[in-house]
Amino acid sequence: MRAHVITYGCQMNEYDTHTIQSELVSGGHQIVDHPDDADLLLLNTCAVRGKPVEKVVTVLGELRKERQAGRDLKIGMMGCLAQLEEGQDIARKFEVDLLLGPGAITDIVPSVEALEQGETGIERLEFREDLDTLIPPAPNALTGFLTIMRGCDHNCTYCIVPTTRGPEVSRPVESILAEAEAMRDAGVQEIMLLGQNVNSYGLKDDGLPSFAELLRLVAQVGIPRVKFTTSHPMNFTSDVIDVIAEEPNVCDYIHLPVQSGSDRVLKRMAREYRRERYLDIIREIRAKVENVVISTDIIVGFPGETEEDFEQTLTLFDEVQYEHAYMFIYSARPGTPSAKHFEDMPRKVKTDRLQRLIEKQKGYALDANRRWMGRTARVLVREIQSEGDYAMGHSDQNHTVLIPKSQVNRLGLHEVVVEHATPHTLYGRLAGVEPQAVPLAMAR
C-alpha cells in the first residue's frame, strides 16, 4: 500500500510516526509525501486538549466525503485519541478501518495486511511491555527523537495520558544506546530523549540506571547536542542538574512544567509537589547551569481557581522569569477526574487570565532574549526557506534563530552572533560575517 501519516500533538507522536513509517517500509509498503497519493491515510492523533480532537473530526469528515465521491481509500486512526472511548466512538461514526493505540504501533504491518485481505474495523489497543525495537534514523535527519520510556504513573486530575499511554515502562539501556549510536553514525547532530516523564526512567526496575546516569551515557555517545523532554518536578533530582552542568553537549535548556503557582490548585490537580519545592529546583538549576533557559507549561483557569490563585501564578512568573512558556486555558478531557468531579469556569474568565499571563511572559521573554544581543550562540540550522530571506534554526538553549539565508550554504551547526531579539526570536549573522543594518521588519 501507499501510505501517508498526518501527525498531531507532541514529539512522542512524531517519534511514533517515524516508527510506523519504518515498520511499513520494512513490510514492503511505500510512504508517500502527499495524502492525495495515498491508499492508506493514517491520522496520528492527540487527545491532551479538545482542539486537536476537533481537527481530527474535521479531517475525518472531509475524508468521508471523498470516499462517498468514489475514492478508494483506507483510513486508520492511531495515537492517544484512538485509545479512548471518545476516539473509538469517533472512529465508528466515520467508519475508520483501523484503530491502533500508542502501545501497539508495531502491529501496523499485520494490521495493513489484514486490510489488504478485506478486513475492516480492526482494533489493536493493547499495551506492549517490550520496548526493545530498534528504529533506524530518518534519512538525512539532523535531529533524532529517541523514546526512553513510555507511560506515566502520576495521576494528575486533568490529564488523560495515563489512560492513553498506560503505566510507566522503561526501555532497556542497551537498546537506547544502540539507537543513539546509529543516529550518531547517520550524522544526526541533535538527539531528543523522549518520555511522558523522562526523569522517572528506571525507577521501577532495579536493573536499570537512573535517568541522570542514562543521560550521561547518551551524552558520551558523541552526538553534538543532547536534549530531553518532558520532566516532572517530583523526579527532577540534583544529579540530573549536575549532568547538565558537567556534560558540554547536554543542552542548557530545561522544560519543567509547573502548571500553577498556587498550592491549593496544585493540590486539586494532584501534582505531588508544592510551589516552594518547585522554586527550590529552579534556584538550584540557575545556580549550577550557566546560560540555562527554562520553559514551563501552565494551565490557566483550572476548575476552582480563584483570582488569588491566579495572582500566585503571576508572582511565580515574577520569581522564575521563564524565558518561554506553553500557556493554555483549561480544557476538560472526558474521563479525567477533573472533568467528572469539578465544575468548569466561565470561558471569558479563563481567556482574560490567559491574556494577562501571556503579556507578562512576553516581557520576560523579551528581556531574556535581549541579553543575548552581541553574544555568540551555537545554532542548528534545519531549514533554509525557499521563500523569504532567512534560514531558521535553534540554539543550544532552544531559541528560535533566524539568519540571512544569503550567509548560509549548508544545514547543520553554525556559530551565530545575535544582533536583534524579539520575545520569540533571535536574529543574527554567521560568526565572521560583517554586521548588516537591521531590517525595519525586525526593528519594530
For residue range 59-116, what is the model confidence (pLDDT) as tens digits? Answer: 999 999 999 999 999 999 998 899 988 899 999 999 999 999 888 888 899 999 999 9
Predicted pLDDT at 315: 98
Can you say whether the dihedral through the CA atoms of 59, 24, 97, 88 is positive or negative? Answer: negative
Above pLDDT 70, what percent of the chain? 96
For helices 11-26 and 108-116, angle between their N-to-C axes, nearest 10 degrees: 60
Intrachain domains 2-124 and 143-370 with the same fold:
no
| Long-range Cβ contact pairs of 382-390 (< 8 A, separation 24 or more) | 382/142, 382/143, 382/411, 383/411, 384/408, 384/411, 389/439
Predicted pLDDT at 126: 78
pLDDT, tens digit, for every residue of 368-386? 999 999 999 999 999 887 7
- CA distance linking residue 380 with residue 392, whole number of Å: 8
Q: Please enumerate in sequence order all residues whose Cβ is within 8 A of that of 40, keeping only pairs 6 or more positions apart, or say none.
A: 1, 2, 3, 4, 29, 73, 74, 75, 76, 112, 115
Q: Is the pLDDT of residue 328 over 50?
A: yes
Q: Which helix (H) or strand (E) holds 146?
A: strand 143-147
**Taking the mean position of all CA atoms in its chain, how far away is CA 349?**
28
| C-beta separation of 44 from 28 below 8 A | no
For residue 58, count other CB atoms closer than 10 A to its CB: 10
Q: Give the burial class of 5: count Cβ atoms within 10 A of its Cβ; 0-12 exposed, 13-18 middle, 19 or more buried.
A: buried
What is the value of pTM for the model shown? Answer: 0.84
Q: Which helix (H) or strand (E) holds 314?
A: helix 307-320
Predicted pLDDT at 129: 61
Which CATH architecture group holds 376-443? Answer: Beta Barrel (2.40)
Amino acid at 46: C
Q: Is the pLDDT of residue 20 over 70?
A: yes
Which of the four pLDDT bands, split at 50, 70 and 90, describes residue 444?
very low
- CA distance linking residue 334 with residue 326, whole number of Å: 22
Q: What three-state secondary structure class fits 249?
A: coil
Predicted pLDDT at 140: 83
pLDDT, tens digit, for every residue of 190-208? 999 999 899 999 998 878 9
Superfamily (CATH) of domain 2-124: Response regulator (3.40.50.2300)
Above pLDDT 90, what percent of the chain? 74
Domain boundaries, the chain: 2-124, 143-370, 376-443
CATH tag, 143-370: 3.80.30.20
Predicted pLDDT at 163: 84
Q: What is the DSSP string of 377-442?
A: EEEEEEEE-SSSSEEEEEETT--EEEEEGGG--SSEEEEEEEEEE-SSEEEEEETTSPP-PPPHHH
Predicted pLDDT at 442: 52
pLDDT, tens digit, for every residue of 143-197? 999 999 988 999 899 998 888 888 899 999 999 999 999 999 999 999 999 998 9
